[in-house]
Amino acid sequence: MQRLELREHVLSNGLRVLLHPARSAPVVSLQLCYHVGSARELPGKTGFAHLFEHLLFQGSEHVASDGHFRLITQAGGTLNGNTSFDRTHYFETLPANQLELALWLESDRMGFLLGGLDQRKLDNQRDVVRNEKRQNYELRPYAKAHEVLAAALFPSEHPYAHLPIGTHEDLISATLDDVRAFFERWYRPDNATLALGGDFDPDHALERVAAWFGELAPGGGFTRPAPQPHRALVEQRRTVEDKVQLPQVTLAWPTPELGHADETALTLLAMVLSATRASVLDRALTIDELLAKNVSCGAWHGELAGRFVITATAAAGVELARLEARIRELLANLARDGVSAAMLERMRNCAEAQFIRSLDNVSSRASALALSDVLRGAPLGFLSEYETLREQTPAHLDAVLRRYLIDQPPTVVSVVPAGASAA
Amino acid sequence: MSNVDRSTPPPAGPTPRIALPRVERTRAASGMRVAATTSDATPELLLELALPSGRVREPLGREGLASLTALMLEEGTRKLSTVEFVDALDFVGAHFAVHSDDDETTLELRVLERHAERALELVGDLLLEPRLGEHEFARVREQRRAALRSRSDDPKSVVNDVWSRLYWGRSTALGSAGIGDEESLAATALDDVRRFHAAALAQPRAWRCSGVCRGGLEQLLGWLAPLEARLAQPAPAAGAALRETWSEPSPLERKRSRIFVCDRPGAPQSELRVGHPSVASSHPDWLALSALNLALGGVFSSRLNLNLRENKGYTYGIRSSFEGGRRPGAFSVGTSVDTRNSAPALREIVRELEGFTAGATAEELAFVRSSLEQALARQFESPAARLSFVSTIERLGLRDDYPLQRLAWLADATPAASARVLSEHLHPGELLVVVVGDLTAVGRELAELGLGSPVKVDARGDERRG
């Protein structure tokens, strides 16, 4: 791994600034991560952080309503934003000579959003977001399970028990006052990290960031939320009907938060189970026994908690109960026999190569720095994903397998063809 | 006191010097065309090896054969089983996949330099001595059966399949879903797969290899040398070449709009696809059309998206494209809209197309020019982006400086010039319209759009009787 060049600063208003100069291409990427996601939404106001993200692309006091997309695209750039449980992330990557444009746009919506906001924009983006929900969660096969899984995996009061997309009901009830209050509370320089990557002089860049952002008022009183790991005590089971031909089963377990000592072992365990066709679950279910059409597995870690998820779609004619039982048996067998050293070595090599690939451009690197700073409290914290790979032993993987997947009951969500759940 | 002026967009600095990746190419001793460029971003090799075995060469009645062959190629070699082969690639941390499209079957490899030699040895085995065994075929066919069964679960697949059938008709494999159907699967034997692959193997002059690495073409040729040595051996069983089966897209014959509906009772959204046959990438107007499309529906700030998303809120997003390709690709618009706005959305789409035949405005032309010109500074940063540049040129037969060619056209383009191109290539009165949605909820309104009477089709795009 090459060393990542990094300079860190904090402006007097609390905005954290990360500078990653890299001269490999005449590009500059600005990544701005606000420490607010759906986990900080209040009851009855789900979907708010994400709806709000949409409104940030609707102009601000000095920027016309279509300005963000138009000006950046016209300048040859790309841009977008996304919202997760923990944070809302905005970014644009431009030719290096357009740094000022990015700073102007981002600082205007951080400091002067409300001047450009009105009811028509809210109504329009509410319609857009509801169409996003229909497209990605209602029409996409099996996607209805996501909402059900989140609610079943965590207790109802847990911040991860609802998805960032929110409910139609809450989206409909959002008012302009709600939006204003959300902005005033969370969109403050001292609740954000700005990372710049690319071809710039760091002294000059810092001076320009300070010029555009330094005068924006801090909110004060921001603290890092404490992790809220959850441990399941009883098995939860849910069934969802969907317009699908083949049933699908998801087994999920709550796991610890980002940065926990077990993080890397869980990531590698997910790969051992289902990174490639030779992985434990893929091989058994889709090659040797033909029980599943496909299987996938992922270990995700947020700042409050994590989750480990296995999803398998049954092969034609295979009962879902049989598929689920076989998955549980395969996990038990792996816990009994242990992860082999050769298997671990292969997955470690895959993980290392993936990590290097994932950082092959300044936008990805600046993004990783900003996200890591917000979620791990250290911009280079994400490197631990790479650095701790070599420390993992088969015994570590066996231990996390037992601790989280064997000695803890799963949450099981079944998606069955519409009309089949009564059977 | 503020020390910045927020009232207007700040001026840009001097435009960075832009250098397109330099493409080096040669024909290897085997006859394979090899093209490469460099990247210093990572110590990796990225390579794609494309064989002339795409869907367009599938014999009629064997639709889905190209993608089935691609799946079978991932099922091990004479020496290694499926799992042993994957294990061996995993050990070197390689990303490897085989996929097929209309024209080609492509082997795609990304691996750290220090493992490139080993990974290419494995890929060479797979290419030249694939297992293609009975046992594996039985399993892959079973999995394909399940995929066919689930195909209509996703309205996005359905709209693609219906569109392909209506666009190309039934006389070419291009008019079917890429994975074929139950009948073609039942008719396909392992020997078909073997013949299909053998035919591609027999013509290395039609292979193309594109690569990106730190050392460029010379380094790539070094890694390819063992494969070349194997290709110099006499081939065990040369296959007969396969014919392309396509003819001109069927709607060209029709000079009016037509609307087809695939019913999905209760669907909260309708999938829409609207368009008509257009030009191949080799057409002299294609680069201009692809540029002008930015203003119509190529980017967020385009006419279609600003109207249907940002003004009306009918959709999460809408895009259009002049697809190009080696054959006359479609011009088409695609989106998902909430059910009750299906007909109004179609009306707006047609209205936008009609308006755009009058040409782009001077402001839009300036926007497109600036966007495409400035973007060159950031488009060739990652190794994958550089591979895509090389590969696009090789696949479509474009010039190495095609982005500059397009800019040269734009430099002189006026609204009147754009109107000439668009009125020739955009035909809002000859649209093929496909709706996948709740017919009961939208049927009556669709009939009133002036696009003809809606014709009911099944999920394959075939007309439903009764």
Q: What's the pLDDT tens digit per position in B96-108?
A: 999 999 999 999 9
Residue of chain A minimizing CA distance to B114? A353
- Separation between Cα atoms, residue B341 and residue B401, nearest integer Å: 43
Q: What is the DSSP string of B87-141?
A: HHHHHTT-EEEEEE-SS-EEEEEEEEGGGHHHHHHHHHHHHHSB---HHHHHHHH
Q: What is the pLDDT of residue B239?
A: 66
CATH 3.30.830.10 fits A236-417, yes or no: yes
- Map tokens 């059966």 to a residue: B145
- Map tokens 């001097």 to a residue: B14
Angle among Cα B340, B345, B348 to the nearest 5 degrees reads 150
pLDDT at B440 over 90: yes
Record: contact A135-B316, CB cut-off 8 A: yes
Record: contact B6-A104, CB cut-off 8 A: yes
Contacts of B14 in chain A (CB under 8 A): 97
* A27 and chain B in contact, CB less than 8 A: yes
Among the partner-chain residues A74, A136, A345, the one whose CB lies closest to the CB of B370 is A74
* Residue B441 buriedness (CB in 10 A; 0-12 / 13-18 / 19+): middle
- Map tokens 């109107």 to a residue: B419
Residue of chain B minimizing CA distance to A77? B375
Contacts of B373 in chain A (CB under 8 A): 76
Instruction: Indicate the DSSP class of residue A157.
Output: T
Contacts of B336 in chain A (CB under 8 A): 131, 134-135, 139
Residue of chain B minimizing CA distance to A352? B93
pLDDT at B465 over 70: no
pLDDT band at B253 (very low <50, low <70, confident <90, very high): low
All structural domains of chain B, each given as residue ranges with its CATH number in brackets, are 24-232 (3.30.830.10), 250-457 (3.30.830.10)
* A387 and chain B in contact, CB less than 8 A: no
Residue range(s) of every CATH 3.30.830.10 domain in chain A: 7-213, 236-417
Record: contact A244-B313, CB cut-off 8 A: no
* A356 and chain B in contact, CB less than 8 A: yes
How far lies A223's CA from each of A181, B118, B322, B388, in Å?
A: 18, 51, 51, 44
CATH number for the region A7-213 comes to: 3.30.830.10
- Separation between Cα atoms, residue B187 and residue B199, nearest integer Å: 19
Q: What is the DSSP string of A346-409?
A: HHHHHHHHHHHHHTSSHHHHHHHHHHHHHHHSSTTGGGHHHHTGGG--HHHHHHHIIIIIISSP
pLDDT at B44 over 90: yes
- Residue A408 in tokens: 């803890």
- Separation between Cα atoms, residue B458 and residue B453, nearest integer Å: 16
Q: Measured in Å, how far apart are chain A's first and last C-alpha atoms? A: 55
Among the partner-chain residues B89, B95, B153, the one whose CB lies closest to the CB of A244 is B153
B347-400 pLDDT tens trace: 999 999 999 999 999 999 999 999 999 999 999 999 999 999 999 999 999 999
Ranges in chain A, pLDDT < 70: 1-2, 420-423
- Separation between Cα atoms, residue B241 and residue A303, nearest integer Å: 57
Residue of chain B minimizing CA distance to A109? B6
Best probe of the A interface among B45, B86, B90, by most A CBs < 10 A, is B90
Helix axes B82-91, A341-358, angle to 10 degrees: 60
* A68 and chain B in contact, CB less than 8 A: no
Residue of chain B minimizing CA distance to A129? B316
- Separation between Cα atoms, residue B129 and residue A120, nearest integer Å: 63
Helix (H, G, I), strand (E, B) or coil at B205: helix
A314-362 pLDDT tens trace: 999 999 999 999 999 999 999 999 999 999 999 999 999 999 999 999 9
- Separation between Cα atoms, residue B49 and residue B38, nearest integer Å: 17
Record: contact B93-A350, CB cut-off 8 A: yes
Best probe of the A interface among B136, B149, B378, B386, by most A CBs < 10 A, is B378
In which order are the strands placed within the sheet that holds A411-417? A236-242, A411-417, A248-255, A306-314, A292-301
- Strands A248-255, A306-314: pairing kind: antiparallel
Record: contact A361-B381, CB cut-off 8 A: yes
Going B41 to B44 to B46 to B47, the CA torsion angle's sign is positive
Residue of chain B minimizing CA distance to A93? B378
* A119 and chain B in contact, CB less than 8 A: no
Q: Where are the beta strands (DSSP E) in A270-348?
A: 292-301, 306-314
How far lies B229's CA from each of A224, B113, B203, B222, B448, in Å?
A: 61, 21, 16, 11, 65
Contacts of B268 in chain A (CB under 8 A): 134, 138-139
Q: What is the pLDDT of residue A290?
A: 95
Among the partner-chain residues A78, A277, A360, the one whose CB lies closest to the CB of B82 is A277
